[in-house]
A = this chain, B = another copy of it.
Amino acid sequence: MTEVEAKKPQESLQDRLAQVVDLLHRHRLVEDLTHRQEGQHQDRVDDLVRRQNLAELQRKLDELHPADIAHILEALPLDERLTVWQLVKAERDGDILLEVSDAVRETLIADMDDHELIAATRDMDVDELADLAPELPRDVVHELMESLDAQQRERMRSVLSYEEDQVGALMDFEMVTIREDVSLEVVLRYLRRLKELPGHTDKLFVVDYDGVLKGVLPIKRLLVNDPEKQVADVMASDPVSFHPDEDAYDAAQAFERYDLVSAPVVDKNGKLIGRLTIDEIVDLIREESESEVLNMAGLREEEDIFASVWKSVGNRWAWLALNLITAFIASRVIGLFDGSIEKLVALAALMPIVAGIGGNSGNQTITMIVRGIALDQVGTGNTSRLLRKELGVSLVNGLLWGGVIGLVAWWLYGNWSLGVVMTAAMTLNLLLAALMGVLIPMTLERLGKDPAMGASVMITAVTDSGGFFIFLGLATLFLL
Contacts and interface: CB of A to CB of B under 8 A. Distances in A.
B331 A194 contact: no
A241 B9 CA distance: 9
A428 to B, nearest CB: 16
Given A191-B223, A192-B224, A309-B393, A323 B75 contact: no
Interface string A52-74: 00000000000001011001001
Say how many copies of this protein the assembly contains: 2
B305 A377 contact: yes
Contacts of A288: 289
A288 B306 CA distance: 26
Query: For this complex, into which size category does the number of interface residues on chain A fall?
Result: 35 or more
A324 B361 CA distance: 11
Contact of A200 (B12, B223, B261, B371): B261
30 contacts: A6-B259, A14-B376, A17-B376, A65-B257, A67-B258, A192-B223, A192-B225, A256-B286, A289-B292, A294-B367, A296-B296, A297-B363, A297-B367, A305-B368, A305-B372, A306-B389, A309-B393, A310-B396, A312-B393, A316-B393, A317-B397, A317-B401, A320-B401, A323-B357, A331-B349, A331-B353, A332-B349, A334-B352, A335-B412, A338-B349
A382 interface: yes
Contact of A8 (B241, B253, B293): B241
The 7 closest A-B pairs by CB, nearest first: A289-B289, A6-B258, A309-B392, A297-B367, A348-B348, A75-B377, A334-B349
Nearest to A255: B282
B236 A5 contact: yes
A367 B464 contact: no
Contacts of A219: 219, 223
A299 B364 contact: yes
A112 interface: no
A212 interface: no
A199 interface: yes
Interface in A321-372: 321, 323-324, 327-328, 330-332, 334-335, 338, 341-342, 345-353, 355-357, 360-361, 363-364, 366-369, 371-372
A65 B256 CA distance: 13
Contact of A75 (B71, B199, B328, B376): B376
A175 to B, nearest CB: 14
A39 interface: no
A405 B357 contact: no
Nearest to A460: B356
A146 to B, nearest CB: 30
A78 to B, nearest CB: 11
Given A240-B8, A393-B313, A397-B317, A327 B356 contact: yes
A356 B356 CA distance: 10
Contact of A364 (B257, B316, B376): B316
A344 B69 CA distance: 59
Of listed A7, A255, A259, A396, residue having the most chain B CB within 10 A: A259
Contacts of A1: none
A260 B305 CA distance: 28
Given A224-B191, A224-B192, A256-B282, A357 B320 contact: yes
Given A303-B368, A341-B345, A345-B341, A464 B389 contact: no
A478 to B, nearest CB: 19
Contacts of A254: 6, 9
A298 interface: yes
Given A220-B197, A257-B68, A292-B293, A331 B350 contact: yes
A395 to B, nearest CB: 8
A180 to B, nearest CB: 17
B290 A282 contact: no
